């Protein structure tokens, strides 16, 4: 009996079908802030899986002004803006098209400016009601693993689809599992003025997102994401018993970097918040895809940590002093 | 009369001569901390100049564990370690060679572990007595612009060499020009607990290096480098009148990002240290190369800022609590 062939989201499948006849030499991941951070795992995936397709990731305005000379008709530019209104990401669509590139725009808002000129639009779900299979991280993986599957011999596409198909179950269970720890985190760290985050490989974008979007933007707490491998070449000198670090441990090939960073941090640090993907129950996920799924689950759990921190600090995640309030 | 043809440093020229017959599809920049940061401008240069050569930059252990599937016989891996003893960078040489790649190792120490297995070794000068033409940043540019010149039609190589030939003169003049400002910086910021840095394009590595090597490692001051384009998508919410930022303005295509970040910062920040490459006298530098040379001069001037800060804080730049003192 033949195994059932799973299919990607219909919108993603349309992109893949259209790309089958085209030559794609390089992929550019283009977005800002949190929308950029969610593309880091896909860059990691391409580095690991794609034998011929090159890839680069740039913040939207860096992309436009850097104007990489390799951007051209054989380029695929994948963009994302949640509300579809980020000016530099919207501008990146027309910029990329003017160079002959093919553009795929991810957004939650159909009809937003981002979607106006894009060759393809992927409208993802969002929020408590969304099914994880139809959310931004999942669409990214469906798209990039799909790309590898149509251009190169690679049998991981079905494994990825079946894993993403079970993602919501994993998410729900992880949230339940980490409920108390998230509350404890909010309680213990509510008075901190600075909290660093750390990770490597497919996790680095998750650490980056938590640092710049949650801590700096939404909580006005000093932060930044330290790469676990770079830690030993400068940043670790800042470690002390009163300096908080959120340390992520994933399941990808770079886990030894995160383990080494944690081991050292434990010698001299006392405010260490460790989220280890080994503690997740990922039984529905294909064994070889766990490394890619882990950062998504870490990110999902960290959102709960953010909510609990915001509650304890009486500082809603929606509060801003500059964003949405000023022209800049 | 024919213009005199300038030549690269003899060691660099040997690499370029040897590479002429080879196919190079991609370049990997591999190092840690400050040695990694000094490669960022070369990645920027390749993005701007190289039509066919792809490039990626990874911290050494990320490179080994990520193990990019595209690393192979058509890869050139450029590595750097000042003392040539950084274990993960040394290991990256044999790792890259095991994949069939060609390796070029930059170091100040001939005979160091990094040089043992590398296909090519570039021994650069260092310190007060060094001529800028023979230092690490210059060797990087000679090498990558040389690569583009041998593989693609590109007439910028001679312009780069003539500019680097005059770099020491520019360095000396800039130091003299910024002497008082550096002293003022040391005096004004000696009591700060956190200082962010910011830049984009070819400058980002300079901002990163100052944040992790000078402030975090050598002064134990909280810091991190914020990308000027990402600033508006999270990090800028941390801005307040008492939060110090060192903002770099360069001369490359991404300068508008840095100008925008500065303009906004001036509205709500009061502790802004601005280093603008437009203030440098770069008359000996070829007009089209100024954008590449600017970050090197910014970096050189920032070293003086670091020295003055260290003096005022009675905290020598050589002081460490973990590095060189412990096994880790």
Spell out the SS3 assignment of B93-108.
HHHHHHCCCEEEEEEC
Q: Residue A4 class from Cβ within 10 Å (0-12 exposed, 13-18 middle, 19+ buried)? A: exposed
Which residue, chain included where needed, has tokens 């901390």?
B33
Q: Which residue of A has its CA nearest to B213?
A: A234
pLDDT attached to residue A219? 98
Q: Tell whether A213 and A295 lie within a shared domain.
A: yes
Structure token pair of residue A319: 């509060």
pLDDT surpasses 60 at A28: yes
Whether B297 is covered by a domain: the verdict is yes
Over the stretch B139-157, which tens digit does the pLDDT of each residue have?
999 999 999 999 998 889 9
SS3 letters for chain A?
CCCCCCCCCHHHHHHHHHHCCCCCCEEEEEECHHHHHCCHHHHHHHHHHCCCCEEEEEEHHHHHHHCCCCCCCCEEEEEECCCCCCHHHHHHHHHHHHCCCEEEEEECCCCCHHHHCCCEEEECCCCCCCCHHHCHHHHHHHHHHHHHHHHCCCCCHHHHHHHHHCHHHHHHHHHHHHHHHHHHHHHHHCCCCECEEEECHHHHHHHHHHHHHHHHHHHCCECCEEECCCHHHCHHHHCCCCCCEEEEECCCCCHHHHHHHHHHHHHHCCCEEEEEHHHCCCCCCCHHHHHHHHHHHHHHHHHHHHHHHHHHHCCCCCCCCCCCCCCC
High-pLDDT (> 90) share of chain B, %? 97
From A268's Cα to the closest Cα of chain B, the distance in A is 10
Report the length, in residues, of chain B.
328
Q: Determine phi and psi for B104, rounding to 5 degrees.
A: -120, 120
Can you tell me the distance from the alpha carbon of B95 to that of B63, in angstroms, rounded to the nearest whole number?
9
Q: Tell whether A254 and A302 lie within a shared domain.
A: yes
Task: List A residues 27-86 in contact with B (Cβ-Cβ < 8 A).
Answer: 32-34, 36, 44, 47-52, 54, 56, 59-62, 65-70, 86
Q: What angle do CA A322, A324, B272 make, to 5 degrees?
A: 25
Work out whether the CA dihedral B155, B158, B159, B164 comes out positive or negative: positive
Q: Do A222 and B222 touch (CB under 8 A)?
A: yes
CB B42 within 8 A of CB B141: yes
pLDDT surpasses 70 at A320: yes
Over the stretch A156-165, which tens digit does the pLDDT of each residue have?
999 999 999 9
Whether B320 is covered by a domain: the verdict is no
Whether A161 is covered by a domain: the verdict is no
Mean of pLDDT values over A242-262: 98
Q: Which residue of A has its CA nearest to B237?
A: A217
Q: Which residue of B has its CA nearest to A236?
A: B217
Q: Tell whether B244 and B103 lie within a shared domain.
A: no
Can you tell me the distance from the alpha carbon of A181 to that of A200, in angstroms, rounded to the nearest whole number?
23
Residues of B in contact with A256 (CB under 8 A): 61, 65
Q: Do B33 and A234 touch (CB under 8 A)?
A: yes
Which residue, chain included where needed, has tokens 């700060």?
B192
Q: Tell whether B24 and B158 lie within a shared domain.
A: yes
Mean of pLDDT values over B268-291: 98
Residue A145: domain span? 10-155
Residue B313: left (phi > 0), alpha (psi -120 to 50), or beta? alpha
Structure token pair of residue B196: 């962010």
Residues of B in contact with A224 (CB under 8 A): 223-226
Mean of pLDDT values over B220-227: 98
CA B157 to chain centre: 19
pLDDT surpasses 50 at B202: yes
pLDDT surpasses 70 at A1: no
Q: How are beta strands B26-31 and A272-276 bridged, if at all?
A: unpaired
pLDDT attached to residue A78? 99
Hey, is the C-beta of B320 within 8 angstroms of any chain A C-beta? yes
Residues of A in contact with B325 (CB under 8 A): none
**Residues facing B79 on adjacent strands:** B30, B105
Q: Do A61 and B256 touch (CB under 8 A)?
A: yes
Q: Do B48 and A54 touch (CB under 8 A)?
A: no
Q: Do B234 and A217 touch (CB under 8 A)?
A: yes
Got the DSSP string for B34-65? HHHHTTHHHHHHHHHH-SS-EEEEEEHHHHHH
Domain boundary (A155, A182, A197) is at A155
Q: Tell whether A307 and A188 lie within a shared domain.
A: yes
Q: Do B65 and A224 touch (CB under 8 A)?
A: no
From B162's Cα to the closest Cα of chain A, the distance in A is 24
Per-residue pLDDT band at B5 (split at 50, 70, 90): confident
**Residues facing B63 on adjacent strands:** none
Q: How many domains does chain B have?
A: 2
CB A112 within 8 A of CB A106: no
Q: Which residue of B has its CA nearest to A267?
A: B328
Q: Tell whether B118 and B195 lie within a shared domain.
A: no
Domain boundary (B133, B163, B193) is at B163
Q: What angle do CA B171, B176, B180 make, to 5 degrees?
A: 130
Task: List B residues 200-229 in contact with A (Cβ-Cβ < 8 A).
Answer: 200-201, 212-213, 216-218, 220-227, 229
Whether B208 is covered by a domain: the verdict is yes
ipTM: 0.97
Can you tell me the distance from the alpha carbon of B313 to that of A247, in angstroms, rounded to the nearest whole number?
31
Q: Tell whether B69 and B126 lie within a shared domain.
A: yes
Q: Do A328 and B264 touch (CB under 8 A)?
A: yes
Tell me the CA distances in angstroms from A5 to A2, A58, A161, A168, one per residue in order.
9, 34, 9, 20
**What CATH number corresponds to the domain at position B84?**
3.40.50.10490
Whether B169 is covered by a domain: the verdict is no
Q: Tell whether B58 and B91 lie within a shared domain.
A: yes
CB B214 within 8 A of CB A26: no
Whether B172 is covered by a domain: the verdict is no
From B270's Cα to the closest Cα of chain A, the distance in A is 16
Mean pLDDT of chain B: 97
Whether A98 is covered by a domain: the verdict is yes
If one counts every other C-beta atom within 10 angstroms of the C-beta of residue A162, the result is: 16
Can you tell me the distance from the alpha carbon of B58 to that of B215, in angstroms, rounded to the nearest whole number?
22
Q: Do A68 and B61 touch (CB under 8 A)?
A: no
Q: Tell whether A195 and A297 lie within a shared domain.
A: yes
Got the DSSP string for B143-187? HHHHHHHHHS----HHHHHHHHHTHHHHHHHHHHHHHHHHHHHHH
pLDDT attached to residue B246? 98
Tell me the CA distances in angstroms from A182 to A113, A210, A307, B44, B184, one per residue in order.
37, 14, 8, 40, 45
Q: Determine phi and psi for B6, rounding to 5 degrees.
A: -80, 155
Q: Which residue of B has its CA nearest to A268?
A: B322
Q: Tell whether A202 and A109 lie within a shared domain.
A: no
Q: Do B213 and A201 touch (CB under 8 A)?
A: no
Q: Do A62 and B200 touch (CB under 8 A)?
A: yes
Q: Tell whether B82 and B157 lie within a shared domain.
A: yes
Helix (H, G, I), strand (E, B) or coil at B308: helix
CB B229 within 8 A of CB A62: yes
Task: List B residues 243-262 in contact with A (Cβ-Cβ < 8 A).
Answer: 253-257, 260
Can you tell me the distance from the alpha carbon of B56 to that of B46, in angstroms, rounded to the nearest whole number?
10
Hey, is the C-beta of B126 within 8 angstroms of any chain A C-beta? no
pLDDT surpasses 90 at A153: no
Mean of pLDDT values over B85-109: 98
pLDDT surpasses 70 at A112: yes
CB B76 within 8 A of CB B177: no
**What CATH number corresponds to the domain at position A250?**
3.40.50.12570
pLDDT surpasses 60 at A2: no
Please count the CA atoms within 13 angstroms of the CA of A309 that sit on its side-chain side.
Answer: 24
Q: Do B200 and A322 touch (CB under 8 A)?
A: no
Q: Do B254 and A88 touch (CB under 8 A)?
A: no
Domain boundary (B163, B195, B219) is at B163
Hey, is the C-beta of A230 within 8 angstroms of any chain B C-beta? yes
Q: Tell whether B148 and B187 lie within a shared domain.
A: no
Residues of B in contact with A47 (CB under 8 A): 56, 66, 68-70
Residue in B59, B66, B230 closest to A230 by CB = B59
Residues of B in contact with A34 (CB under 8 A): 233-234
Q: Which residue of A has its CA nearest to B319?
A: A237
Whether A3 is covered by a domain: the verdict is no
From B324's Cα to the closest Cα of chain A, the distance in A is 11
Q: Which residue of A has its CA nearest to B81?
A: A233
Mean of pLDDT values over A173-179: 98
pLDDT attached to residue A3? 62
């Amino acid at each position: 009996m033949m195994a059932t062939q799973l299919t990607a989201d219909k919108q993603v499948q349309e992109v893949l079908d259209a790309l089958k006849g085209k030559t794609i030499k390089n992929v550019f991941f283009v977005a800002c802030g949190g929308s950029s951070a969610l593309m880091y795992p896909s860059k990691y995936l391409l580095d690991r899986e794609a034998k011929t397709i090159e890839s680069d990731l740039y913040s939207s305005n860096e992309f436009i002004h850097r104007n990489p000379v390799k951007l051209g008709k054989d380029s695929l530019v994948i963009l994302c803006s949640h509300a579809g209104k980020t000016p530099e990401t919207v501008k990146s669509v027309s910029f990329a098209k003017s160079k002959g590139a093919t553009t795929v725009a991810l957004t939650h808002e159909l009809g937003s400016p981002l979607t106006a000129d894009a060759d393809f639009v992927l409208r993802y779900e969002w929020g408590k009601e969304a099914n994880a299979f139809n959310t931004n991280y999942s669409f990214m993986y469906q798209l990039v693993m799909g790309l590898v599957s149509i251009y190169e011999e690679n049998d991981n596409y079905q494994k990825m689809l079946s894993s993403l198909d079970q993602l919501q179950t994993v998410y729900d269970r992880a949230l339940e599992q980490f409920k108390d720890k998230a509350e404890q985190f909010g309680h213990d760290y509510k008075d901190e003025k600075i909290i660093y985050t750390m990770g490597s490989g497919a996790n680095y974008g998750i650490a980056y997102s938590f640092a710049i979007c949650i801590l700096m933007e939404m909580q006005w707490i000093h932060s930044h994401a330290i790469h676990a491998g770079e830690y030993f070449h400068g940043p670790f000198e800042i470690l002390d018993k009163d300096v908080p670090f959120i340390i992520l441990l994933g399941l990808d090939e770079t886990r030894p970097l995160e383990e080494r960073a944690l081991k050292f941090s434990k010698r001299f640090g006392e405010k260490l918040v460790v989220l280890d993907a080994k503690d997740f129950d990922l039984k529905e996920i294909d064994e070889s895809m766990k490394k890619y799924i882990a950062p998504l689950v870490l990110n999902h759990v960290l959102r709960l940590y953010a909510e609990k921190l915001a509650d304890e600090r009486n500082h809603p995640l929606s509060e801003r002093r500059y964003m949405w309030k000023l022209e800049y």
